[in-house]
Structure 1
Amino acid sequence: MAKIYYIFSIVLFASVLLGAPTNETISEDGESTRILNGKSATAGQFKFQVSIQEKKSGGATSKFCGGVILNKHWILTAAHCFEGSTPSIHYRINCGVTAAYDYGKTSQDVKVKTVFNHPNYDPDTVANDIALLLLEDPLEFNKYVQPIELPPKSYEAHGDGTIMGWGAIDKMETVSSPDLLYAQTSVSTPQECKKFFEITSSQICLGLHNKNNACFGDSGGPFVQDVDGTLRVVGVTSYGEYGCDADKPIVYTKVTAFLDFIADTINKNSKGLTLVD
């Protein structure tokens, strides 16, 4: 029987259409919070993390994906987050906070000007699942908001790292976490991953035989590792099997495979912008 795979923002879109997810952190049956077996982040712990939100023409706002800050004007995320986009949907990012809907004094809530999906993104195979967001106004870097570094092109993800997001926390994947959760997880070998998914050389998978992993709504969020003494984003959350079970891998877009796309897109669309202090 063919396996059914789920992209990690599509179900959240469905739950948004049916009504905004409730602000719960434990499901009725006592299941641990998601990110699977994650911990709550503290203020300023992950300064590069953003919540990507949609604001409908009627005024309702809902979060649906994550991303990371590359510089004052650019956010890195997943392309599939923007399938089905219409002119009636206005995208924003919120950063500087651990509660996605906190628009208080440390929050920076900024409108997205343009979405740049990878030109070869394939919604059927989820290949090239990476995107860049150009913000309408620059971010202000401070002790709560900072960019994250990209990895060197030769880097191959291995060992342990950290994932984070505001994704689903219940077995039906309809309740999302109001607070940023994070967890440690490990890179699986391509041979292990291919028992579950037909991955390509531009993808990695995490979390096989590991209790910590991502779930619906964590799409676009990062897998970060310490590379040469610097924390860097090496993966972007893409998809997994239905159910978000522990011990099963999740597929991530390999950032090193798209460094040229990232550099070219930013260079071609940053005329007149100040990207760093």
Structure 2
Amino acid sequence: MGEGTSARPQFLLLLFLATAVAAAEKGVGDACEGRGGAAGVCRLIGDCPEARDALRKGVAPATCSFQGFQPVVCCPAPAPAPSPTPAPAPSTAPKPPPTPTKLTPQRVATRMCTKYAEAVYVYITSFQIPKQTEKRDTCAIKGIPFIVNGEAADPDEFPHMALLGYGDEKAPTWGCGGSLISERFVLTAAHCFTRNGNPKVVRLGELNLKTTSEANKHEDFAVAQVLPHPDYVDSANYNDLGLVRLSRDVAFTPSIRPLCLQVDKDFGRPSAIASGWGYTDWTIREMSDHLMKVKLPIQDNEVCQNAYKTKSTTPSLRRGIEEESMICAGALNVRNDTCGGDSGGPLQIRLDEPYCMYSLVGVTSFGKGSCGTGKAPAVYTRVSRYVSWIESVVWPDEK
């Protein structure tokens, strides 16, 4: 389906109309009059805790205008600072030693995860007098979902999924997967830049490559730059991680928004979910038209080492399976697996907090022999090992 041909959902149309009505009104920073005539300042609703509290109580704040999906509301003006009081006379009594304070600042990836979780919601303003602003939940994750022997994904269930296209930008050949992690970057496998050449286009919001239904709301982005991990070597399977910088920022929608990065090695789950458009049958070697998902058990490193013992004698896996930078996932003797074409795609877990968000624990890297045979689990690059490098590239100005 070509870009722009899909029908937009009704709530986005309402939002567009509401924005048009409010466009001539006040902008961020302007003085305004709130409910009951109270003086205020126009702010984005995300920057006004009082407005969010009022919404939770069913009271709509006065609306100044809109910026994209977010309303600009009349936020109560801060109370004037109290007059300074004279400093007390110095005491001659000895001062007790200060109590030490332990600071545990959140790292950048964790803060950005919380920020992107806000994109789960859209704000709809009605034409009632006075105007009513509704916070609408767009989460499409369906409980715990159970590629080879996988299931078809539901619309908007994995809004971070990306497809990497090669060759002609207007008619690309899809060859790898990836995950949207910010407004400008997609995370994938570094071998997706070498074995097929550099990708030319990234598609987001795709569900089925052959349909043009309303559920298919994809958008294509030109590739501005590819950045393999600096320690990646094409002849080996280590440090198989890379970033794709898009040519323009992504506007988040219910179908297109980032997932979080797993910052801790241990994520406390016995299984994870892989998703992609890879081969559904190794003998046919054709990519799936529809996005697929499969639930895979996490395997102990010892199991993985034994499964890849013979390959560890080759240059590509000379150091064996390294637990700090690799994850093995997939049941032995069961035909659930990722396969060719899934490379670079996510191995993810659903988070309890923030709401309706996934955490990217692994990136599909390599397997052994024919996929889906149940002889060996697949190997994924462990994302937590590389978060510092990702942060330095994706959010260099965040501290």
TM-score range, shorter chain: 0.7 to 0.9
CA drift at 1:75: 0.5
1:180 aligns with 2:302: no
Candidates 318, 325, 328, aligned match of 1:205: 328
* Cα distance in 2 for residues equivalent to 1:235 and 1:188: 13
The amino acid of 2:246's aligned partner reads: L
Q: How does 1:181-260 map to 2 (within 5 A)?
A: 181-197=292-308, 198-200=320-322, 201-209=324-332, 210-229=334-353, 230-247=357-374, 248-260=376-388
- Percent of counterpart pairs with the same letter? 27
Partner of 1:46: 158
* Cα distance in 2 for residues equivalent to 1:170 and 1:99: 17
Structure in which a larger fraction of residues adopt helix: 2
Write the deviation string for residues 215-264 of structure 1: whole angstroms up to 9, x where unpaired: 00000000111345452010000000121034220000000000011011
* Cα distance in 1 for residues equivalent to 2:222 and 2:268: 32
* Structure 2: gaps spanning 5 or more residues: 1-146, 309-319
* Cα distance in 1 for residues equivalent to 2:227 and 2:209: 23
The amino acid of 1:206's aligned partner reads: A
Partner of 1:253, secondary structure, is strand
Write the deviation string for residues 15-73 of structure 1: whole angstroms up to 9, x where unpaired: xxxxxxxxxxxxxxxxxxxx11111112111111111111338x541100111111110
* Cα distance in 1 for residues equivalent to 2:363 and 2:284: 20
* Cα distance in 2 for residues equivalent to 1:227 and 1:199: 27
Partner of 1:241, secondary structure, is coil
State the TM-score, normalizing by the size of structure 1.
Answer: 0.77
1:138 aligns with 2:249: yes
Is the contact between residue 188 and residue 205 of structure 1 (CA under 8 Å) also seen in structure 2?
yes
* Cα distance in 1 for residues equivalent to 2:210 and 2:165: 9
Q: How does 1:152-163 map to 2 (within 5 A)?
A: 152-156=263-267, 158-163=269-274
State the TM-score, normalizing by the size of structure 2.
Answer: 0.55
Between the two structures, name the one with larger relative contact order (CA 8 Å, sep ≥ 6): 1
CA drift at 1:137: 1.1
The amino acid of 1:244's aligned partner reads: C
* Cα distance in 1 for residues equivalent to 2:350 and 2:281: 31
Q: Which moved more, 1:100-109 or 1:146-155?
A: 100-109
1:65 aligns with 2:176: yes
CA drift at 1:156: 4.3
Partner of 1:275: none
In 2 relative to 1, CA 68–146 (structure 1 residues): closer, same or farther, beyond 3 Å?
same
* Cα distance in 2 for residues equivalent to 1:78 and 1:157: 24
* Cα distance in 2 for residues equivalent to 1:132 and 1:267: 12
Candidates 129, 132, 148, aligned match of 2:259: 148
1:264 aligns with 2:376: no
**After the TM superposition, which segments of 4 or more aligned residues of structure 1 sit over 4 Å from their partners?**
101-105
Is the contact between residue 56 and residue 90 of structure 1 (CA under 8 Å) also seen in structure 2?
no
In 2 relative to 1, CA 149–232 (structure 1 residues): closer, same or farther, beyond 3 Å?
same
CA drift at 1:162: 0.7
* Cα distance in 1 for residues equivalent to 2:201 and 2:369: 28
Q: How many residues are paired up? A: 233
Write the deviation string for residues 130-150 of structure 1: whole angstroms up to 9, x where unpaired: 011110011111111111011
Is the contact between residue 157 and residue 234 of structure 1 (CA under 8 Å) also seen in structure 2?
no
